[in-house]
Amino acid sequence: MGETRRRNGVETRAEILRVALDLFTTQGYESTSLRQISDELGIQKASLYYYFPGKEDIVRPGFAARGSEAQTLLEWAKAQPAAPDLLRRTVLRWVDTFSVEKLRGIRFVNANPTLMRTIALDSSAAIRDPLEGLVALLGDSYLGADRVLLRMAFLSINAAAAAAAAGTPDQEIVAAARRASLAILDALSVA
Amino acid sequence: MGETRRRNGVETRAEILRVALDLFTTQGYESTSLRQISDELGIQKASLYYYFPGKEDIVRPGFAARGSEAQTLLEWAKAQPAAPDLLRRTVLRWVDTFSVEKLRGIRFVNANPTLMRTIALDSSAAIRDPLEGLVALLGDSYLGADRVLLRMAFLSINAAAAAAAAGTPDQEIVAAARRASLAILDALSVA
């Protein structure tokens, strides 16, 4: 895309993240070099290094951001007064926020499954642990299959991403995930 | 387990498949040797070779069986008269049959993701292609998010397996998958 338009640091950083994650997803993390990312962006390799000294530095912020989002949601849910619709509101907060970023992360993980066992494992736990906390907090009275359904309601974006045909627009996947979450929550036995 | 009880060939074969797939799933396909499988079963390595000359021979039958099941379901659905509940009956046939075997296969695939890109890729397509055929046959009038939801209804066992906590009994996962499929089908827009 070149640098004909003057970009500020935040924009450049976001653009690098988007392009690099796309490359990591389509051709694999291991097979993608920093050189290739800078070429794809039409920027100097030195500029890329300025923002991200290594490939791991590109991957970690996304996980950290989603982990922080999950942690914030857990704290929010803990602070709410008990209410019949708290579970539903909490699930929808997770499904409705940063949905496209979540999809991007899920696709990256699915394309680089073994990577998650090494470098990004701690980042992955940073998302999983607060979600576990939410299940424990809100799902205490749901047992057996209901407990599995409650987890499925939280993870509908993952399921929708896995089920959707290649090339399905993000907004259709996100819309399906939202409707699936609502349908699954309605199917829970009354707690 | 030893061979104190006399087993016939069919039983022995099934037992080898079960034990080997468990080992492939818990410690990885590459890290598991035929020797270890025969030790775990308490049988001679020669007996194991008699049934399965190599590790791939252990993995392929499961995929072939599920692929054949999906193909049979597609042919069954094609032979049915058009009816409002045909989609629902077809999805439930997929979700309700060989559910535990499906779970076992899904766990194996999730534990050995890169393997699916090499040896078992054609086996995986043997399942995916007939399921695609079912989506095309029954989901023609479902577009956008509805199309994604239709796929999610077929793949509820996969989603339930991914969402369930470690150690969740198979029957709870299968029950959740069934209820999720029904809930998602109910959430489809009227075609």
Tens digits of per-residue pLDDT, B61-74? 888 899 999 999 99
Q: Mean pLDDT over residues A36-56, rounded?
A: 92
Identify whether the C-beta of residue B105 lies closer than 8 Å to the C-beta of residue B66. yes
Predicted confidence (pLDDT) per residue in B44-100, tens digit: 999 999 999 989 999 988 888 999 999 999 999 999 999 989 999 999 999 999 999
Question: Are residues B85 and B152 located together in one domain of the fold?
Answer: yes
Q: Which residue of B has its CA nearest to A110?
A: B113
Q: Mean pLDDT over residues A146-172, rounded?
A: 96
Residues of chain B positioned with their CB less than 8 A from the CB of A183: 180, 183-184, 186-187
Range of the domain at A29: 9-51
Residue B6 confidence (pLDDT): 58
How many domains does chain A contain in total?
2
Identify whether the C-beta of residue A157 lies closer than 8 Å to the C-beta of residue A106. yes
Q: Do the domain assignments include residue A16? A: yes
Q: Mean pLDDT over residues B107-112, rounded?
A: 89
Predicted confidence (pLDDT) per residue in A119-154, tens digit: 766 767 889 999 999 999 999 899 999 999 999 999
CA dist B21 to B37, B103, B111, Å? Answer: 10, 11, 11
Q: Which residue of B has its CA nearest to A143?
A: B172
Question: Are residues B79 and B114 located together in one domain of the fold?
Answer: yes
SS (H, E, C) A4-51: CCCCCHHHHHHHHHHHHHHHHHHHCCCCCCHHHHHHHHCCCHHHHHHH
Question: Are residues A32 and A83 located together in one domain of the fold?
Answer: no
Residue B7 confidence (pLDDT): 65
Q: Which of A113, A164, A183 sits opposite B183 (nearest CB)?
A: A183
Question: Are residues A16 and A102 located together in one domain of the fold?
Answer: no
* Beta carbons of A155 and B163 less than 8 Å apart: yes
Residues of chain B positioned with their CB less than 8 A from the CB of A145: 172-173, 175-176, 179
Residue with tokens 């709870």: B172
Predicted confidence (pLDDT) per residue in A5-16, tens digit: 556 888 889 899
Residues 6 or more apart whose CB falls under 8 angstroms from that of B26 comprise B111
Burial class of B144 by CB neighbour count within 10 A (0 to 12, 13 to 18, 19+): middle
- Look at chain B and count its residues: 191
Residues of chain B positioned with their CB less than 8 A from the CB of A114: 113-114
Question: Are residues B36 and B106 located together in one domain of the fold?
Answer: no
How many other C-beta atoms are found inside a 10 Å radius of the C-beta of residue B1?
Answer: 11
Would the pLDDT of A190 be above 80?
no
Identify whether the C-beta of residue A50 lies closer than 8 Å to the C-beta of residue A43. no
Q: Do the domain assignments include residue A98? A: yes
Question: Are residues A130 and A179 located together in one domain of the fold?
Answer: yes
Would the pLDDT of A4 be above 80?
no
Question: Are residues A44 and A109 located together in one domain of the fold?
Answer: no
Question: Are residues B64 and B37 located together in one domain of the fold?
Answer: no
Whichever domain contains B24, its CATH number is 1.10.10.60
Q: Do the domain assignments include residue B4? A: no
Question: Are residues A99 and A136 located together in one domain of the fold?
Answer: yes
Question: Are residues B88 and B31 located together in one domain of the fold?
Answer: no
How many other C-beta atoms are found inside a 10 Å radius of the C-beta of residue B86?
Answer: 14
Residues of chain A positioned with their CB less than 8 A from the CB of B149: 176, 179-180
Would the pLDDT of B2 be above 60?
no
CA neighbor of B160 nearest in space, from B120, B100, B117: B100
Question: Are residues B73 and B130 located together in one domain of the fold?
Answer: yes
**pTM for the whole structure:** 0.90
